[in-house]
Chain A
């Protein structure tokens, strides 16, 4: 098969993995040989019309697979055309693209062929050749196969910047139903093994005992959950998320709205991907990690275990906790400012620094280009106090969250294809 055709099949097969991050690894460059560099910040070399960043050459080694996961384009029973790269083809393609500055590196995954160990060996061999034979200093993300031998995992971590295993679905029973060959406890154990090695490598680096633990995935591990393929509600999704962050030190949990695939399984109804839900889950994920929100608080903003699709989860929480507002921008502690709708973590820090010198007025907020309409009902400044009764109005939501953008898309978009 012609190389271009292979690339088309194997990129098409890889696009349902949302991650394309190339950030958070160690600094490297090629001044002492080889090719490539990583400088901490990820770079998106292009954007596709789906709005997603293209940072890495994201492909599968092969889309042939012995598993039959209902949600997956590559499942054994799907009728998509199959292809397989040779190790050499992948190494060359990565280098050709990298030299022309198309990509930051490689994100390699694969269908399971022959056995987990055999598949993992092939994946690792691509990374090994890039690193050892070509001195490749760019970014490498490898998908790891939970059942592969621990030695293979160790080798993968030596060459990769990031490793990931997808939990695939938020609930163990859905995985049993839709991905009969996948094993949720096995996935958790594999994540635990990765955390052990990542922690040990970090510890050794901190203590300069470089000989003690070999390099292991300096950009950590991540995972992905498919949203909307099973009946799990947002409570189940975010509960799993909270658990994964706390247990395995994941850098990121990615949410991937289940979208129609060529030759879908009849176990899943064809429908437009729940993009709004996906977006709200990312916002909630941020609140969990950077804004000091507890899971139950975030869920309290919605109804019946689902987030409010029409407004962001922080605004939803604030509208249901109006007794906590208004907050004085000149006096409130950081934790409380972080809970004001429309104030991000960076802005809060700038305000804290500025208010040490003089009190903050409403035009200061305007100069920082903050969304005043959203902000001012919840905030007291040196020259502003929300109009009496505004916070008690039942139509406050309509006043500050007009039906635009995502809010307007929330329902029609999901129904468009039904």
Chain B
């Protein structure tokens, strides 16, 4: 193998130098099997050092996937001697007809590259996690010194992490291969060291061990899970690890003692409850179950509304699905408002805020109302159903239409709410509201814009629910239907002026 070329790199993880050499080899079309890579200080291998690289060739400028460069820069810190050759072989294949190679997740070279990068990242992560500083007092103030034994050539690349985290401290990290020193202003890389050069103890380690012992739950002993994440090889440099054998040995006895000791009966209350629990009332038909004074004539309409709201809030016969909602959403607006709008039910945002008409449909309603010349703060808005009915799907809640039973449940509350507000006209938005007000399932398309008088003597003006406008797919019909909605609101307003 006399045609082998030997490349000598200045450092074990010098990506810049590898890259420069690789580009020159590529320019000279040197195939990967003819190159031997070596780091200064290592013994030559198969080619006995090999021939020097072709000096005349200008470095090639090949374009390679970014994913390759990103992984290569990390994998080069791996301690495996074959890393330089693997990287050059991948580079060669990428530039010789296999430009989609990086997507071949099952190619052995690609797998090896991923595995090397993963091992380096894991090593770096363990460095961030398991390095322990010990504080020493010096003439210039405290200095934090750590001893760590990484598996790969990662120290220099990872100094940035400690610099960002501990920029205000003065620290040194010693490893067998290299050391890093930060004096608060500049970073200096130095030669490797020994454990004996790091301080032997730190006054806070006893507190840290006390914390480690106390946070451990002996009833959940899972040593395999601990060793998988914190392999035994790291234990010798972790001050808390010396507690592990004793904690494990004592755990079964501690649990047995807890169980044997038995239980304490709940003591008579030492403190009074902070909450005033809701007064339970007997479940019964809603209208009958409401206290009679809710229905008495009153001049104090805000108080009557508040009483009605409180009554609904303490019901214990609500439809079961309401348990999933955050809160009841009651109507809002001034009693005596000339116009009262009834929607279907609170949506996601209304449920969160506890206020009606604040979600997307509510905002559209506000816009249309203003456009129709309606004094929005002077109107009263409420819903036929006063809890949000939904089905959870991932991170969203899918609106579920209330059924006839739900509408019937809330109907007496809606009726009473309208009685108290005593508007000149009730505008029903959508089918649910109309059903709640008339007691009948009516098609909006047939009665829209026609004044209806209910058996209770209410004047109801039906139109669509603004959420219908939001669901329309194309902008044209959206615009057309929005204009129609505004026209409806104007018509409703004319009825009260």
CB pair B128–A43 under 8 Å, yes or no, is: yes
Interchain CB contact under 8 A, A3 and B207: yes
Residues A35 and B215 in contact, CB atoms below 8 Å apart: no
In the assembled complex, which residues on chain A have CB atoms less than 8 Å from the CB atom of B217?
15-16, 48, 50, 52, 259
C-alpha gap A246/B396 in the complex (Å): 5
Residues on the B chain within 8 Å of A365, using CB:
106
Q: Is B263 positioned at the interface, with any CB of A under 8 Å from its CB?
A: yes
- Residue B68 is within 8 A (CB to CB) of chain A in the complex: no
Q: Does B497 contact A (CB under 8 A)?
A: no
Known: A46-B212, A49-B222, A68-B266. A245 touches B326 (CB 8 A): no
Indicate if the CB atoms of A50 and B220 lie closer than 8 Å.
Answer: yes
Does B219 contact A77, Cβ atoms closer than 8 Å?
Answer: no
Give the distance to chain A from B173, nearest Cβ to Cβ, in Å.
Answer: 10
Q: For the complex, is B144 an interface residue (Cβ under 8 Å from A)?
A: yes
Instruction: List the A side residues contacting B354 at CB < 8 Å.
Output: 189, 192
Is A100 a contact partner of B270 (Cβ separation < 8 A)? Answer: no
Which residues from B are CB-within-8-Å of A70? 266
Q: A49-B244, A289-B394 are in contact. Are A263 and B264 (CB under 8 A)?
A: yes
- The total of chain B residues at the interface (CB under 8 A) is 89
Q: Which residues of B contact A273 (CB under 8 A)?
A: 219-220
- Give bound CA distance, A365 to B106, whole Å: 8
Which residues 259-306 of B have a CB within 8 angstroms of A?
259, 261-267, 269-271, 273-275
A129 contacts which chain B residues (CB < 8 A)? none
Cα(A119)–Cα(B224), bound, Å: 39
Tell me whether B262 and A270 are in contact (CB under 8 A).
yes
B144 with A99: CB separation less than 8 A: yes
Shortest Cβ distance from residue B243 to the other chain A in the assembled complex, whole angstroms: 9
The answer to whether B229 and A44 have CB atoms under 8 Å apart is yes
Chain B residues with Cβ under 8 A from A46's Cβ?
Answer: 129-130, 212, 230, 238, 240
List of B residues within 8 angstroms of A11 by Cβ:
210-211, 214-215
| Interface: A34 (CB within 8 A) | yes
A30 touches B168 (CB 8 A): yes
Q: Which of A67, A180, A196 contacts B353 (CB 8 A)?
A: A196
Question: Given A43-B125, A51-B223, is A260 in contact with B105 using a C-beta cutoff of 8 Å?
Answer: no
Contacts A188-B326, A260-B259; A12 near B214 (Cβ below 8 A): yes
Q: A4-B206, A31-B163, A267-B266 are in contact. Are A54 and B215 (CB under 8 A)?
A: yes
- Interface members, chain B 223-275 (any A CB < 8 Å): 223-226, 229-230, 238, 240, 244, 247-248, 251, 255-256, 258-259, 261-267, 269-271, 273-275
Interface residues of A in 27-57 (CB under 8 A from B): 29-31, 33-37, 39, 41, 43-54, 57
Q: Considering only CB atoms, which chain A residue lies closest to B219 in the complex? A: A259
Contact assessment for A50 and B222 in the assembled complex, using a CB-CB cutoff below 8 Å:
yes
B133 touches A101 (CB 8 A): yes
**CB of B475 closer than 8 Å to a CB of A:** no
Give Cα A260 to B219, complex, Å: 7
Stretch among A150-158, A313-321, A347-355, A389-397 lining the B interface = A347-355
Q: Does A8 contact B (CB under 8 A)?
A: yes
A35 engages B168 (CB within 8 Å): yes
The closest CB in chain B to the CB of A59 belongs to B211
Is the pair A49, B248 in contact by a Cβ cutoff of 8 Å? yes
Q: How far does the alpha carbon of A168 sit from the alpha carbon of B467 in the complex, in Å? A: 36
* CB-contact partner of A30 in B167, B219, B223, B392, under 8 A: B167
Interface-facing stretch out of A297-305, A356-364, A372-380? A356-364
Are B211 and A7 within 8 A (Cβ)? yes
Given contacts A49-B226, A243-B392, A266-B263, contact A100 B327 (CB under 8 A): no
User: When each residue 111-151 of chain B gets 1 if its CB lies under 8 Å from chain A and 0 otherwise, what string results?
Assistant: 10000000000000100111111110000000010100000
Separation of A54 and B206 alpha carbons in the complex (Å) = 17
A367 contacts across to B, CB distance below 8 A:
106, 108, 111
Q: Which residue of A lies closest to B349 (CB)?
A: A196
Residues of B within 8 A of A99 (CB): 133, 135, 144, 166, 169
Given contacts A15-B217, A97-B208, A242-B392, contact A353 B103 (CB under 8 A): yes
B324 close to A78 (CB less than 8 A): no
CB contacts between A and B, total, < 8 Å: 269
Q: With CB as the reference atom, state the residue of chain B lying closest to A260.
A: B258
Contact A246 B397 (CB under 8 A): yes
With A50-B222, A189-B326 already in contact, the answer to whether A180 and B134 are too (CB < 8 A) is no
Q: Given the complex of chains A and B, what is the CA–CA distance between A29 and B160 in angstroms?
A: 11
Q: How far is the CB of B268 from chain A (nearest CB, A)?
A: 8
Residues A185 and B258 in contact, CB atoms below 8 Å apart: no
Q: Is A264 an interface residue (CB 8 A)?
A: yes
**Is the CB of B19 closer than 8 A to any CB of chain A?**
no
A357 touches B221 (CB 8 A): no
* Cβ contact within 8 Å between B105 and A368: yes
| Cβ contact within 8 Å between A260 and B255 | yes
Instruction: State whether A246 touches B394 (Cβ < 8 A).
Output: yes
Is there a chain B Cβ closer than 8 Å to A268's Cβ?
A: yes
Q: Which residues of A contact B269 (CB under 8 A)?
A: 68, 76
Chain A residues 82 to 99 lying within 8 A of chain B, measured CB to CB, are 93, 96-97, 99
Within 8 A of B (CB), among A323-369: 350-351, 353-354, 356-358, 360, 364-365, 367-368
Give the docked Cα–Cα distance between A181 and B219 (Å).
27
Alpha-carbon distance A196/B202, docked complex (angstroms)? 45
* Residue of B221, B326, B353 with highest tally of chain A CB at under 10 A: B326
Contact A29 B167 (CB under 8 A): yes
Please tell me if B104 contacts chain A, counting CB pairs below 8 Å.
Answer: yes
- Per-residue CB contact flags for chain A residues 188-202 toward chain B (1 = under 8 Å, else 0) read 110110011000000
Pairwise interchain contact A48-B133, C-beta atoms closer than 8 A:
no
> Chain B 198-218, CB within 8 Å of chain A: the 1/0 string?
000010101110111111111
Is B61's beta carbon under 8 Å from chain A? no
**Residue ID in chain B nearest A34 by CB atoms:** B168
Question: Is the beta-carbon distance between B105 and A275 smaller than 8 angstroms?
Answer: no
If A11-B215, A29-B164, A48-B212 touch, whether A353 touches B105 (CB-CB below 8 Å) is: yes
State A77–B269 Cα separation when bound (angstroms).
8
B351 interface residue, CB < 8 Å from A?
yes
Distance, CA A409 to CA B219, complexed state (A): 15
Q: Does A141 contact B (CB under 8 A)?
A: no
Contacts known (A37-B164, A100-B134); A76 close to B271, Cβ less than 8 A: yes
**Most chain A beta-carbon contacts within 10 A, residue among B104, B135, B169:** B104
Contact call A7/B214, Cβ cutoff below 8 A: yes
Assess the A14–B103 pair: CB atoms within 8 A: no
A282 within 8 A of B: no
With A46-B230, A189-B354 already in contact, 9 other A-B pairs whose C-beta atoms are closer than 8 Å = A47-B230, A78-B264, A99-B169, A185-B326, A188-B326, A265-B265, A269-B263, A273-B220, A358-B104
18 A–B contact pairs at CB < 8 A? A8-B211, A46-B238, A46-B240, A50-B220, A51-B223, A51-B225, A52-B217, A68-B267, A68-B270, A79-B264, A100-B208, A112-B274, A188-B327, A191-B326, A247-B392, A264-B263, A270-B259, A368-B106
Instruction: List the interface of chain B (C-beta within 8 A of A).
Output: 100, 103-106, 108, 111, 125, 128-135, 144, 146, 161, 163-169, 202, 204, 206-208, 210-226, 229-230, 238, 240, 244, 247-248, 251, 255-256, 258-259, 261-267, 269-271, 273-275, 323-324, 326-327, 348, 351-354, 390, 392-397
The 4 closest A-B pairs by CB, nearest first: A51-B225, A51-B222, A77-B267, A246-B392
